[in-house]
């Protein structure tokens, strides 16, 4: 829809190519080619930004994963680490973490979302730090490839400030919804923030509807992508509530951050004067259409109200599952191939004479380990491995 202006004026403005089809005067009139208008639009409304915030976020996530694996130090606590030749960066046993990553205890130590620590320990900062951590190499690669594919295109169109705000706020919104519904497991990942970017693309298309060509095809494509990804979220070990929370947050944020002026207003701005006899206020009103203002106000109000209510309920220890008996199906649907048991992994530990005996209270499994003086973190890792 837009292209940079050539030559020296590329630093000042861009050319917006608008195609307006002729209306039919009767059934016997042949269709004529669309009229093409070129409007010179001054920055920052239409420009090609140089993306860097998305690349920086990707590097930060990869760096934090390496730090997490260094802290995890699997060979120090296990004898059957996956890819053991990596030394200190070896992965937890595949039975414990099939995503090739650290233990749950290490993730909690690094800032993962643990609802009990957020509510009872008042560690609200985990709602933000968890989006920078990943459960394994597979998890990291999927999220980072999606971030680069979606985020760079958006940052080129809207700049690093707006994309950075959407990314962070959507990730926070995903963490809030996850904490309200998933109380017994640790949650990490940038999926909520990524779904926020996708949701913002949808609302940007809606709020700037009159500016787009092939808008219906774009809308159908976006809805299809969202539906497929949400459907994949009903698989076990996937936090679909973070996806839904991030998607809703990003959808509302798109109406706030991605509103664009109308071409008629841009044309008047380029001419630097209003048509003879028209008041200046009329030109200002043409900058945005009425429905754009309505969507902006409604989305901003819903964002403030929703985030405030969710934060208050979370820190009061509210468990949303008690008031919505079917909501857990949004995150996992049980089938013959898998179960959706989200009960906490609790074990009874007994240490004596250089051995550690664990009994998983959920499944009744028990096992004895030749470990002397095991720390609580080590016991938690073994309990998680035994119960899962």
Residue 7, pLDDT > 70, answer: no
- 2-4: strand order across its sheet: 2-4, 13-20, 35-42
User: Does pLDDT of 285 surpass 90?
Assistant: no
191 is a catalytic site residue: yes
List 77, 134, 139, 243, catalytic entry: 243
292-308 average pLDDT score: 95
pLDDT at 360: 81
> Of 78-82, 193-197, 212-216, 262-266, where does the model show the most confidence?
193-197
pLDDT at position 289, please? 83
List Cα–Cα distances, 271 to 210, 274, 331, in angstroms. Answer: 22, 8, 54
The H-or-E segment that residue 367 falls in is strand 366-369
Q: What number of H helices and E strands is found in the chain?
A: 13, 6
CATH fold, domain 52-271+289-331, is Rhomboid-like fold (1.20.1540)
Gap between the Cα atoms of 112 and 132, Å rounded: 9
DSSP 8-state code for residue 235? S
**For 344-369, what is each residue's pLDDT tens digit?**
567 888 888 778 888 887 667 888 88
Higher pLDDT: 353 or 4? It is 353
Beta bridge partners of 13: 42
* Residue 28 is a catalytic residue: no
From 191, 200, 249, 331, active-site residue: 191
Domain boundaries, the chain: 52-271+289-331, 347-387
- Distance from C-alpha of 300 to C-alpha of 304, rounded to nearest angstrom: 6
Whether 170 and 192 have beta carbons less than 8 Å apart is answered as yes
Q: What is the pLDDT of residues 146-158, one digit of tens each?
A: 999 999 999 999 9
């Amino acid at each position: 829809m837009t292209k940079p202006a050539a030559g020296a004026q590329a630093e000042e403005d861009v050319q917006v190519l608008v195609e307006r089809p002729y209306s039919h005067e009767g059934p016997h009139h042949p269709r004529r080619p669309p009229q093409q208008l070129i409007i010179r639009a001054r920055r920052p409304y239409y420009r090609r930004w140089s993306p860097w915030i998305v690349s920086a976020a990707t590097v930060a996530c990869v760096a934090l994963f390496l730090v997490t694996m260094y802290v995890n130090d699997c060979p120090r606590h296990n004898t059957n680490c996956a890819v053991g030749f990596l030394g200190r960066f070896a992965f937890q046993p595949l039975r414990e973490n099939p995503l090739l990553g650290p233990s749950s205890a290490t993730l909690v130590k690094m800032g993962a979302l643990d609802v009990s620590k957020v509510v009872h320990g008042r560690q609200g900062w985990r709602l933000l730090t968890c989006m920078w951590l990943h459960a394994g190499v597979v998890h990291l690669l999927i999220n980072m490839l999606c971030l680069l594919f979606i985020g760079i295109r958006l940052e080129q169109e809207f700049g690093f400030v707006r994309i950075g705000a959407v990314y962070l706020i959507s990730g926070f919104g995903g963490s809030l919804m996850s904490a309200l519904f998933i109380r017994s497991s640790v949650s990490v990942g940038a999926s909520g923030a990524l779904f926020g970017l996708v949701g913002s693309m949808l609302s940007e298309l809606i709020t700037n509807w009159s500016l787009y060509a092939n808008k219906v095809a774009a809308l159908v494509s976006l809805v299809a992508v969202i539906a497929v990804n949400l459907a994949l979220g009903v698989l076990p070990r996937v936090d679909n509530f973070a996806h839904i929370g991030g998607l809703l947050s990003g959808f509302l944020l798109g109406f706030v951050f991605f509103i664009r002026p109308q071409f008629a207003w841009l044309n008047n701005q380029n001419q630097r004067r209003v048509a003879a006899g028209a008041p200046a206020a009329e030109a200002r009103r043409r900058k945005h259409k009425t429905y754009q203002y309505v969507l902006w106000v409604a989305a901003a109000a819903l964002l403030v109200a929703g985030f405030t209510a969710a934060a208050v309920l979370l820190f009061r220890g509210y468990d949303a599952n008690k008031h919505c008996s079917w909501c857990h199906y949004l995150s996992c649907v049980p089938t013959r191939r898998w179960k959706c048991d989200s009960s906490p992994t609790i074990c009874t530990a007994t240490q004596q004479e250089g051995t550690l005996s664990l009994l998983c209270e959920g499944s009744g499994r028990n096992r004895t380990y030749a470990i002397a003086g095991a720390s609580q973190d080590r016991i938690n890792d073994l309990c998680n491995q035994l119960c899962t």
